[in-house]
Amino acid sequence: MPESLGNDLLVLVPGWVCDSCNNTCSAFESRALSLSILGVERCRLGVVTKKRRPARASLCGVEWFAEPTKTANVVSAEADWSRIPMLLKPDGSGTLVFPVHDDSNVDVCRLLLKLGVELFGIIHHFDGVNPDLSDARAFVLGRDAKPWPYFILRTPEPPPKLVSVLHEDPDSHEYIKSCGFDLFLHEFGSELVLLFQYGAFIGAAAVTSRNTTWTKEFREWNTPFVGCPVEFAGLHG
């Protein structure tokens, strides 16, 4: 889990990722955490960077800044407001609305798949589980530009059928949740799927293939979702 998300527990020791791959991943991680909804969530959660600076993000023409010394859910924002449309949900709830399909989709997907590939690398090391993740690795490292689908769940919490990867360590699980995130691995038929929660964002991606038929289980669970990037916008439930 990127430390820049506010994670100081789920950190890989040196040697799990080579320098070349680490540099490649750092580049798209930085974009995903600065130029996507994940960046805004990072600010809302009050993350302080390793350089001890409040997190910041840029999205929808607005500069967002964490306010770690203030109460929960408080952020600062700067923009030329005369040129920025209000991002408020029209139901009067005060909810901010962000576009789902934007230029950050590829970097967000690569981040999801990276988390999945690294998790299965650890699981393989200890339990001998070794799925074929070669296509996911190629996409993460930028060697395959064909779009890879991921899905945003339109729910405040993950489906109750999912079990966190930290469920056997309750103390660590509670700490991770207090930092705003959680990780889930689930087998949907023949596909192994990573689900990642960060604040109000819950994303899911199969790490074994680009197959999308497994999303039918979301429909069976009455869990609303939308497909990303825009090539998969027609996949929703």
Q: Kindly list the strands in the beta sheet with 56-59, ordered across the sheet, starting from the edge strand earlier in the chain.
A: 56-59, 62-66, 75-78
Which pLDDT score, from 0 to 100, does residue 67 have?
Answer: 95
Question: pLDDT-based confidence at 125, cuts 50/70/90?
Answer: low
For the chain, give me the number of helices (H) and strands (E)? 6, 8
Q: How confident is the model at residue 40 (pLDDT cuts 50, 70, 90)?
A: very high
Tokens for 142?
């930028």
Number of residues assigned to the chain: 237
Question: What predicted TM-score, i.e. pTM, was given to this entire model?
Answer: 0.88
73-82 average pLDDT score: 90
Q: What residues have CB less than 8 Å from 26, skipping those under 6 apart?
A: none
What does DSSP assign to residue 54? B
Instruction: Give the confidence band of 26 by pLDDT, cuts at 50, 70, 90.
Output: confident
pLDDT at 35: 93
Q: Which of 44-53, 99-108, 140-149, 202-211 has the lowest mean pLDDT?
A: 44-53
Q: According to the model, what pLDDT value does residue 128 have?
A: 59
What is d(CA 50, CA 7) in angstroms, rounded to the nearest whole number? 10
Cβ distance 209 to 176 under 8 Å?
Answer: no
Express as a percent the part of the chain with pLDDT over 70: 90
* Coil vs helix vs strand at 37: helix
Domain boundaries, the chain: 3-83, 105-232
